[in-house]
Amino acid sequence: MSPALAIAARDLRQKVRDRSAIILSVVAPLMLAFLFSAMLPAGSDVFKATYAVVDLDGGPIARALVDGPLAGLGPSGITVVAAVNEAEARGRVTGGSAQAAIVIPAGFSAAVQSGQQAHVTIVGSVNATIATQVLQSIVSSFGSSVAGVQLAVATVTAAGGTGAGDPASIAREAQAMAAPVTIATASTTDRLAASNTYYAASMAVLFVFFAAQFGVVSLLGERRAGTLARMLASPISARTVLLGKLLVSIVLGAVSMTIIAVATTLLLGARWGDPLAVAALILTTVLAASGIALVIVGFARTEDQAAGLTAIVAMVLAVLGGSFFPLSQAPAALATLSLATPHAWFLRGIGDLASGEGIAVVLPSVAVLGLLGVVTCAIGLVRAERAVIPR
Amino acid sequence: MSTLAIAQVNLVRLLRDRTALFFIFLLPVVLIVVLGTVYGGRTAPRLGVVSAGSGALGADLVKALAGGHMRLEIRDFASEADLRSSVERGTLELGLVIPPGYDATLRGGGDARVTVLAQPGRVLALEQGVGSAVAAESAIVGAARLAQARTGARFDDALAAARAAAAGVAGVQVSVEDSGKRIFPTDIGMFSLGAQSQLILFMFLTSMTAATQLILTRQLGVSRRMLSTPTSIATILFGEMLGRFGVAMIQGLFIVLLSAFVFGVDWGDPFAAGVLIVMFALVGTGAAMVVGAFANNPDQAGTFGVFVGMALGALGGAMVPIEVFGEPMRTIAHVTPHAWAIEGFRTLVFDRGGIVEVAPQLGVLGAMALCLLAVATVKLRRQIVGG
């Protein structure tokens, strides 16, 4: 094994001085991760909205709405501000300081109390659809509960005719009744990395393919320069040379990803999660990237061709694997297809770690990545030994 | 003439390179398709429902949710574990578990509880979205129950009476008005946003590869050719640049025409769109010339060029739309030509603008191109004169 280590050590010394390698393995992914984290402010995945409320009625039912369901929204991430008139409320929505406004017109309470139809108007920003729909839903729920008494009276009367009792007593009973269906909420475990962590991880896995190629692609360069033949003339086996080159790829890839993980943690506040689990994910991902690069080298004739093919394969896998944009919005077929890429498994693992759990939670990802790594490395070694080593 | 000949050779050489063809023609189209498929189609929040064993009333609740104003896209799930996992991974915005026996509990006079699942940070707000349908169903069941108790009617008859009565109850009518201008119009088609951003991202990347050519020409060919032929250095350099400008233009035209005819992408006023593309390609060529003039190692210039192209693309809103940036990045983005060009296309397509409306963007791009080309020319001339 020591000649393989010697080959790896020599190559690594050369790569440390290669500016292209440093740009592609470290500078570019860090820069892009930094840009993405600056562009997409942290916490954008938390729901936040401001509603402007105009109560032109002031009656008991309007107060019940404003002081009831609308007052208790703080924990939902919703701020409610009072506006003096409709123009101010509309202005807030247009100006962007509120996502939606609700206008309770004069006569609202009187209408509800006398069994007439009451109206409220919601003005919602077209660019805040969900915030508007949530407000609409809150008001509709309130409407259902105040109309519930009317509904109960109407239903009892319809079902039992006049013998069912007088409306006032039905209404009293309906009012006293608890809602038969209630809602409990349960937040799920967080398995989606925050955007700064996501982009740090996705850039790391995108560029590790470029970092890893430097090791094995140099085989083709050494063959062209004739140094490969010279190495093989010494008592070093072809397998040893290949292993040495593969080791360079793995070290370069691991160094690249580790630097990105550490730097984004320190500089961008990215939270990668349990270090042991991250290390396992990085190691298996690097193995897969190096194996894929070695397979490509086995099928390429020149360094340029190998570099070109690696770039193509890396970009296609990155697009399908969710490195450029999260695929959680994707149709099911695309989401399934993405599971054929190392990127998807690595990012899934990093997402799992957002839960704060340890290495156990990433074992499926680590297993798939490890298997992919072992298989591609094996195919690559066999293929490269036949195709690249001069006879 | 020799300028054109050099440009032609450059172009042909590039078009024979399969890797280059992939990055120039195939990858942008793949990205447009994937972006459109992922982000272009759907706007409604997805609600996954587990309702096995919840009976007829459970089905009624699901129906009420599907017809509600949230316009939820409902997906059925077999188990709560599957539902939870989908919500955790973000492939659903919301989950709802209607427990087995929901129907029987309510019919038997008991209280039922449904569970809303969502990611932390969103669950309380999105719960409200499900709330109105649940409140409406709850009111109906409550009314039916009361009728059953008071009149001795069968529950099903009382329920039918409650549903019939619900339509006639005055209640509170909520009308919703839209306010403001949509950031992304709904009628632009699913591929438009992706097509605009990928056109800009990739045309610039293609232009930047010219830097490598420029250095190679400077280092290897120029002195020899200058001595052996009557072709001037300026002609050679200009020809190389023209070749890359031509490739960027062919690429731009390809993306625009393909996306227009195959994916139905609207590019707005053809003349204004054409001028915008030419201006942007000029900026790209200018940037490549500056890199080519100042760098000395073709490999490094190539890597650096791609890096600059990706960084400016990200910063300028060609990867994540500028509309979702926070401040101050939205302002800072306008140091890139990308942000101006994309803004130009937004004006042409979203606001149906013409050449007059995009004059500011064209002006900025023109000024950028002029500055870059001037800096590069001065530097290159000095290098050539200085040997």
CATH number at residue B127: 3.40.1710
> Residue B307: pLDDT band by 50, 70, 90 thresholds?
confident
Contacts of A147 in chain B (CB under 8 A): 139, 169-172
Is residue B186 domain-resident?
Answer: no
Dig out the tokens for A114 from the structure. Answer: 């006398």
**Does B135 contact A320 at a Cβ distance shorter than 8 Å?**
no
Give the three-class secondary structure for B353: coil
Give the three-class secondary structure for B74: strand
Question: Does one domain contain both A17 and A130?
Answer: no
Is residue B180 domain-resident?
Answer: no
Terminal alpha carbon distance of chain A: 23
Is residue A185 domain-resident?
Answer: no
Question: Does one domain contain both B142 and B291?
Answer: no
B104–chain A nearest CA distance, Å: 12
Alpha carbons A136 and A141: distance in angstroms, whole number:
9
Alpha carbons A69 and A364: distance in angstroms, whole number:
44
Residue A94 neighbours by CB under 8 Å, 6+ apart: A125, B179, B180
Question: Residue B277's domain spans which residues?
Answer: 2-39+191-385
Per-residue pLDDT of chain A (391 residues; tens, 9 = 90+): 578 888 888 888 887 777 778 888 888 899 988 888 887 766 666 778 899 999 999 889 899 999 988 888 878 788 888 888 999 999 998 888 889 999 999 999 998 888 888 899 999 888 888 888 888 888 888 888 888 888 888 888 887 766 667 777 888 888 888 888 888 888 777 788 888 899 999 999 999 999 998 888 888 888 888 888 888 888 888 888 889 889 999 999 999 999 999 999 999 888 999 999 999 999 999 999 999 999 999 888 888 888 888 888 998 999 899 888 888 878 888 888 899 999 999 999 999 998 888 899 999 999 999 999 999 999 999 998 887 776 5
Instruction: Indicate the pTM of the whole model.
Output: 0.86
Q: Are the CB atoms for A296 and A302 separated by under 8 Å?
A: no
Residue A293 pLDDT: 94
| Average pLDDT, rounded, for chain B | 84
Per-residue model confidence as pLDDT tens digits over B171-186: 788 888 887 777 777 6
Q: In chain A, which among 302-341 make CB contacts under 8 A with chain B?
A: 304-305, 307-309, 311-312, 315-316, 319-320, 324-331, 334-335
Dig out the tokens for A132 from the structure. Answer: 């508007």
Q: CB A133: neighbour CB atoms within 10 A?
A: 25
Question: Residue A357's domain spans which residues?
Answer: 2-42+193-387
Residue A164 pLDDT: 64
Per-residue model confidence as pLDDT tens digits over B323-382: 888 778 889 999 999 999 999 999 998 888 889 999 999 999 999 999 998 898 888 777
Is the pLDDT confidence value at B40 over 80?
A: no
B122 touches chain A (CB under 8 A): yes
**Closest residue to A94, CB basis, from B84, B128, B180:** B180
**Residue in A with minimal Cα distance to B116:** A185
Strand order of the sheet with strand B112-118?
A181-187, B112-118, B94-97, B46-50, B73-76
Give the three-class secondary structure for A114: coil
Q: Are the CB atoms for A117 and B170 separated by under 8 Å?
A: yes
Question: Does one domain contain both A234 and A337?
Answer: yes
Contacts of B153 in chain A (CB under 8 A): 159-160
Q: Are the CB atoms for B207 and B285 separated by under 8 Å?
A: yes
Question: Does one domain contain both B49 and B134?
Answer: yes
CA A237 to chain centre: 46
Q: In chain A, which among 12-41 make CB contacts under 8 A with chain B?
A: 19-20, 23-24, 27-28, 31-32, 35-36, 38-41
Question: Does one domain contain both B266 and B311?
Answer: yes
Residue A246 pLDDT: 92
A172-176, B48-52, B124-128, B207-211: which range is least confident on average? B124-128
B76 touches chain A (CB under 8 A): no
Cα dihedral sign for B221, B222, B225, B228?
Answer: negative
Is residue B313 domain-resident?
Answer: yes
- Report which residue type is found at A321: G
Residue B368 pLDDT: 95
Residue A52 pLDDT: 92
Q: CB A267: neighbour CB atoms within 10 A?
A: 14
Alpha carbons B354 and A157: distance in angstroms, whole number:
65
Question: Does one domain contain both A13 and A87?
Answer: no
Question: Does one domain contain both B245 and B287?
Answer: yes
Question: Does one domain contain both B217 and B328?
Answer: yes
**Closest residue to A180, CB basis, from B138, B180, B320:** B138
**Closest residue to B150, CB basis, from A150, A160, A191:** A160
**Does B129 contact A133 at a Cβ distance shorter than 8 Å?**
yes
Is the pLDDT confidence value at B386 over 60?
A: no
**Residue in B with minimal Cα distance to A50:** B125
**Residue in A with minimal Cα distance to B90:** A328
Question: Does one domain contain both B29 and B64?
Answer: no
Is the pLDDT confidence value at B225 over 60?
A: no
> Residue B73: pLDDT band by 50, 70, 90 thresholds?
confident
A44 touches chain B (CB under 8 A): yes
CA B234 to chain centre: 41
B335 touches chain A (CB under 8 A): no
A175 touches chain B (CB under 8 A): no
Question: Does one domain contain both B195 and B339?
Answer: yes
Overall average pLDDT of the B106-124 stretch: 85
A158–chain B nearest CA distance, Å: 7
**Residue in A with minimal Cα distance to B181:** A126
**Residue in the structure block whose two tokens are 């989908």:** B86
**Residue in the structure block whose two tokens are 């030509």:** B337
The pairing of beta strand A181-187 with beta strand B112-118? parallel
**Residue in the structure block whose two tokens are 């936040």:** A48
Residue B87 neighbours by CB under 8 Å, 6+ apart: A188, B48, B93, B94, B95, B117, B118, B119
**Closest residue to B147, CB basis, from A120, A156, A308:** A156
A116 touches chain B (CB under 8 A): yes
Dig out the tokens for A192 from the structure. Answer: 């989606």
B178 touches chain A (CB under 8 A): yes
- Which ipTM score applies to this complex? 0.83
Is residue A301 domain-resident?
Answer: yes
**Does A315 contact B27 at a Cβ distance shorter than 8 Å?**
yes
Q: Which contacts (CB < 8 Å, 24+ apart) does range A304-311 have?
A: A304/B19, A305/B19, A306/A213, A306/A217, A306/A220, A307/A213, A307/A217, A307/B19, A308/B17, A308/B18, A308/B19, A308/B20, A308/B22, A309/B19, A310/A209, A310/A210, A310/A213, A310/A217, A311/A210, A311/B19, A311/B23
Question: Does one domain contain both B209 and B241?
Answer: yes
B91 touches chain A (CB under 8 A): yes
Alpha carbons A209 and A79: distance in angstroms, whole number:
46
Question: Does one domain contain both A216 and A272?
Answer: yes
**Residue in B with minimal Cα distance to A210:** B303
Question: Does one domain contain both B108 and B202?
Answer: no
